[in-house]
Structure 1
């Protein structure tokens, strides 16, 4: 049984029923139909407890990142609009949307030097939400449920520069969030123009992909056109990739599929100062250590705002809330997941809404480094409910 609507075993039917009951409190916050609920169950092999945890984490993630705002209102910085890669174009023979990404054409250093990690993540989340919208459009167009896609990953021009770790760390975080929050949306990924060094890069990416996702990745060399035409009709495949489709006379359909390119240095943020530089504190976070900063929030819907930069190397950052367990013990609950930021290149900043009163702890984490201390410049403060903005975390 595939685990999809109309193809469920009796045990899967029962699990779906129990799953709906267990997550009934959050159903108003998601797309409430069996097709969507089954995505989360399939992603966890119909393990009820794991699927519930995954879905609840997703709801919290959407709130943390204000996905509705990103989907409907957020505007990406100009440099990301012009020089990031990827885009949707056409459909495969089964009506699925097709997403193209020419990884070899991205300027890894240019993107990192000119963008914050938060903006890069929001840009990719906006793309994921656009894909979900395309699923809905294709479902309406074809009169049957369509909820996964075909991806074409073009590795032409990929070199060692595309394995630059500051960029890969951001890319890995994007992959992590895609796996955790957009499960079961990939039908197949066809990798074309794969160079001989691709095994090195793929081995770096593999740990961030589920076993199921890895099974959907197929590699082709330079003679890939016939393989693509097995899945995509010529009029839906850009002429550049062996089809007949053009857009505004462009065989690459660049208006739909962003093709990257060298980022002009005029976009670089590396020399910019933090906006709160007059209030910055400077500390050294020792190797293998963490800096924990507690803040008391006395009014619901207050904001916790941060900005920071290191002088050298990356550092982790996350936010926790103190809670008291039934046995009276205090524990820290993660509310903004800890991520590593290459903030020695570009300052990082953000804001979150504190929907509960209590003690929040901002944590700068250098525990992963056993040899390097980090010189950190930071500002973290509380914004009253009537002044803080939660629309653009």
Structure 2
């Protein structure tokens, strides 16, 4: 049963004790769901025993809570009930199971923090974000279970989690960002114990240290010990230093795996192009431009298009134009915006037939940090 697994005699005894203590709970729908995702009853109990240092009492309490969680929050058929929102989160959420697996059965998941704008939580229920987040974890678990069963294994080592921290800024230390992280980290640790093999946080900017001080206390000691924080990415490492073959690592962090371009997370139906003023946009005259074609705007009824801006702190100018190849652009709107936090929604006239809509936001601040994004949306 435990072949190939580094398990102590104390852990084996604790697994047996936990199984006996669970009794009739093992027949609950939530426990059957758990054992299906974690390969077997023994494997599921082992994860909890190791995660809680052989404290059977605590492990029992956590398993019982997970059973309840799986029968309520995680038990919903979220994708079927909310297909449009699920599809949009799938396209825009910062994290995903990559659908690849290593030779030893580890699945990879990837998070790109630059694509998370905390202002989105003003538009999307955090529970919806959590539903999607945990559905991706479940997808990775299924991949590992399929590998184990195909290869006749009783165990799989867990996730290799890769986090690209490029673009982390002051907005990620804002209260709504921290509350979202708590909503994901807490249930993640409680209901998926010992499912992470190792975590690399890459491309960390100087400001990351402040964010990490807020996040680190949310993590258990065992989880913290698995986290490796790097200033750069895997591009400077030798292949022998990597956690898995370079072919399985996404290109943005120094690997060779091509992944679909993520969109900046907003939570609404959006056109395919967007932009964000990030950490490099300190000072005036730095700008970003987005464009939506006539075809992409076709689903918007009426004569107005909604443009949404995020401006964490400072002043920006928003300019909207109707553009057509070979012709001079038509100015639709130019507006200065002062903001101290979050979301600004503005309506712009829909461009004439045959024209695209081009929106530019420019940072006017000289000293203050201005971090913002713009989306052309259908709300």
TM-score class, shorter: 0.5 to 0.7
1:106, distance to aligned residue in structure 2 (A): 1.4
Counterpart in the other structure of 1:263: 266
Where does structure 1 lack aligned partners over 5 or more consecutive residues?
A: 247-252, 268-344, 346-393
Q: Secondary structure at the match of 1:168?
A: helix
Match of 2:67 among 59, 66, 91: 59
Question: Is 2:141 the partner of 1:132?
Answer: yes
1:221, distance to aligned residue in structure 2 (A): 1.6
Question: Is 2:229 the partner of 1:219?
Answer: yes
Measure, in 2, the Cα distance between the counterparts of 1:264 and 1:33: 37
Measure, in 2, the Cα distance between the counterparts of 1:266 and 1:99: 25
Counterpart in the other structure of 1:97: 107
Task: Please list, as runs of the form range in 1=range in 2, the aligned pairs for 1:1-393 lying within 5 A after superposition.
Answer: 7-28=6-27, 29-30=31-32, 31=35, 32-67=40-75, 69-70=77-78, 75=83, 77=85, 78-89=87-98, 90-92=100-102, 94-109=104-119, 111-144=120-153, 145-227=155-237, 229=239, 230-246=242-258, 253-254=259-260, 259-261=262-264, 263=266
Greater RCO structure (CA 8 Å; 6+ sep): 1
> Contact 1:5 / 1:34 at 8 angstroms: preserved in 2?
no
> Contact 1:107 / 1:260 at 8 angstroms: preserved in 2?
no
1:5, distance to aligned residue in structure 2 (A): 7.4
> Contact 2:108 / 2:140 at 8 angstroms: preserved in 1?
no
1:92, distance to aligned residue in structure 2 (A): 3.8
Measure, in 2, the Cα distance between the counterparts of 1:12 and 1:24: 19
1:69, distance to aligned residue in structure 2 (A): 2.4
Counterpart in the other structure of 1:287: none
Measure, in 2, the Cα distance between the counterparts of 1:95 and 1:137: 9
In 2 relative to 1, CA 11–163 (structure 1 residues): closer, same or farther, beyond 3 Å? Answer: closer
1:193, distance to aligned residue in structure 2 (A): 0.4
> Contact 2:158 / 2:195 at 8 angstroms: preserved in 1?
yes
Where does structure 2 lack aligned partners over 5 or more consecutive residues?
A: 271-342, 344-379
Q: Secondary structure at the match of 2:109?
A: strand
Measure, in 1, the Cα distance between the counterparts of 2:175 and 2:101: 34
Measure, in 1, the Cα distance between the counterparts of 2:116 and 2:263: 5
In 2 relative to 1, CA 227–58 (structure 1 residues): closer, same or farther, beyond 3 Å? Answer: farther
> Contact 1:76 / 1:123 at 8 angstroms: preserved in 2?
no
Q: Secondary structure at the match of 2:77?
A: helix
